[in-house]
Amino acid sequence: MVVKGAFAHLARPGAEIAVRVVPRASRNHIALAGGTLRVQVTAPPEGGKATAAVQKLLAHALGVAKSRLELQRGATSRDKVFLLKG
């Protein structure tokens, strides 16, 4: 389980947050690895389910509403970039 606000230090308005997604993982988890967040989600990479799960988990970890996170790049890729709207 990811603690709410665990990555709040990254939550600056206008920040671009790069993530590497691991779908169909055994648990939901976020880890910082070399400037990129590695996000593991249990959702399958079908029909945007994994992307939606990543957005929800990332928002929880940043301590912001998921509506403030906008996917900029990587809709169908494991490497995604989210923009944190102010």
Q: Which of 44, 46, 43, 40 is nearest to 28 (CA)?
A: 40
Tell me what pLDDT residue 34 has.
83
User: In this predicted model, what pLDDT tens digit does every residue of 37-84 receive, in sequence order?
Assistant: 999 999 999 999 999 999 999 999 999 999 999 999 999 999 999 999
What's the longest Cα–Cα distance across the chain? 33
Tell me what pLDDT residue 35 has.
77
Domain boundaries, position 68: 8-84
Provide the 10 A C-beta neighbour count for residue 64.
17
Tell me what pLDDT residue 36 has.
85
> Strands 16-22 and 79-84, how do they pair?
antiparallel
What is d(CA 17, CA 15) in angstroms, rounded to the nearest whole number? 6
Q: Is residue 2 situated within a structural domain?
A: no
Q: Is residue 3 situated within a structural domain?
A: no
Question: What's the number of domains the chain is made of?
Answer: 1
Q: Is residue 1 situated within a structural domain?
A: no
Q: Is residue 31 situated within a structural domain?
A: yes
Q: Which of 14, 13, 31 is nearest to 22 (CA)?
A: 31
Tell me what pLDDT residue 81 has.
97
Could you tell me the pTM of the whole model?
Answer: 0.93
Kindly report the CATH number assigned to the domain that includes residue 39.
Answer: 3.30.1200.10
Q: Is residue 66 situated within a structural domain?
A: yes
Q: Is residue 48 situated within a structural domain?
A: yes
